[in-house]
Amino acid sequence: MPFKKYCYDGSKPFKISKSSTDETDLCADRRDAESKMAENNALIDELQAKLYAEKKEGVIFLFQAMDAAGKDGTIRAVLSCLSPHGVHEAAFKAPSSDELAHDFLWRIASKVPAKGEIAIFNRSHYEDVLIGKVKELYRSQDNARRIDLDKVIEYRYEDIRNFEEYLYRNNVRTVKIFLNVSKDEQARRFLSRIEEPEKNWKFSGGDYEERAYWDAYQEAFESAINATSTKHCPWYVVPADHKWYMRYVVSEIILATLKDMDPRYPEVTADRLATFAKYKEELLKELPEGGGLKPAKKKEDKKKKKAADKA
């Protein structure tokens, strides 16, 4: 699969300075990308229905990025095709006082999907090794005296790897997507938010102030991806300067994941079919003669009728 070049599963190092933010190699142009994404979304919808019906495995699609990279828009564009049944989004903001009173994975564990469900994480436990690392937030939080604060981030990388492997062994996959936007493109998107009234609500002074930490965040992303990329729980680093391309690539990642999970509608056993026949017999007794039921039509009959109507 061509998009595999964006995959980091621990078999190769990730260098953020060498990772393209603006390539569009997998599509001829925007129209081509949007056409392919539409096809992918239809297949994603079908596979999600099977996943929900089978209830054997769950999956987390986790999004991380710098500000203005396009997380919200990508989630809407790619995943709005899903049925509300069995799908939920969790947006992780700054932790509350109650959340800070627990271990850093506590608030994440409650959002893990059940078998048959999809969870969309808009930011995640990785905030604790991104902004948590850049701003050294753990130093101002309450910790037991035995905790070596100089090793907190290293410990968290290990905890995250173990947590995600634990989920994988318990039927929940974690697919991690980093939308990689350039500093120049972020500046253009910030200017758009300032200049266009309908986008003013998206911009805050805090967004601009975080740009001063750009290099530190780039290092934090590189370190986190290298420390937590595994075969079962890989990272995908997606070029994000062109939103249309980014969304198409994300749709390919999600589709490939669901195909690999291979969900299927549960098979109905002969005994269960026999039970259905008994239920049908009893229900028909309750209705007037004939039951008022229309005979089931085969799909071929429906197609013939449509063709005849057009003629």
Sheet containing 87-91, strands listed edge to edge, beginning at the edge strand earlier in sequence:
7-8, 235-239, 172-180, 58-65, 118-122, 87-91
Closest CA to 177 of 118, 221, 137, 227: 221
Q: Clarify whether residues 161 and 233 are in a common domain.
A: yes
Q: Clarify whether residues 279 and 247 are in a common domain.
A: no
Query: What's the pLDDT tens digit per position in 146-197?
Result: 999 999 999 999 999 999 999 999 999 999 999 999 999 999 999 999 988 8
Closest CA to 258 of 175, 195, 144: 175
Query: What's the pLDDT tens digit per position in 24-67?
Result: 999 999 999 999 999 999 999 999 999 999 999 999 999 999 99
Q: Clarify whether residues 33 and 153 are in a common domain.
A: yes
Nearby residues of 36 by Cβ (< 8 Å), 6 or more positions away? 27, 248, 251, 252
Q: Clarify whether residues 275 and 253 are in a common domain.
A: no
Q: What is the mean pLDDT of the chain?
A: 92
Predicted pLDDT of residue 62: 98
Q: Clarify whether residues 78 and 217 are in a common domain.
A: yes
Query: What's the pLDDT tens digit per position in 288-310?
Result: 875 666 655 555 555 555 555 55
Q: Clarify whether residues 178 and 220 are in a common domain.
A: yes
Contact 207, 67 (CB under 8 A): yes
Q: Clarify whether residues 112 and 134 are in a common domain.
A: yes
Q: Clarify whether residues 192 and 94 are in a common domain.
A: yes
Q: Clarify whether residues 181 and 299 are in a common domain.
A: no
Query: What's the pLDDT tens digit per position in 230-248?
Result: 999 999 999 999 999 999 9
Q: Is pLDDT above 70 for 229?
A: yes
Residues 230-251, buried b or exposed e (16+ Cβ, 10 A)? beebbbbbbbbbbbbbbbbbbb
Contact 249, 26 (CB under 8 A): yes
Q: Clarify whether residues 295 and 237 are in a common domain.
A: no
Contact 16, 240 (CB under 8 A): no
Q: What is the CATH number of the domain that holds 168?
A: 3.40.50.300
Helices (H) and strands (E) in the chain, counts: 12, 6
Predicted pLDDT of residue 272: 81
Between CA 3 and CA 117 the distance in angstroms is 25
Query: What's the pLDDT tens digit per position in 89-104?
Result: 999 999 999 999 999 9
Q: Clarify whether residues 192 and 48 are in a common domain.
A: yes
* Domain hosting residue 299, numbered range: 270-310
Q: Clarify whether residues 94 and 179 are in a common domain.
A: yes
The number of distinct structural domains making up the chain is: 2
Amino acid at site 91:
A
Between CA 120 and CA 69 the distance in angstroms is 17
DSSP 269: P
Closest CA to 214 of 94, 20, 69: 69
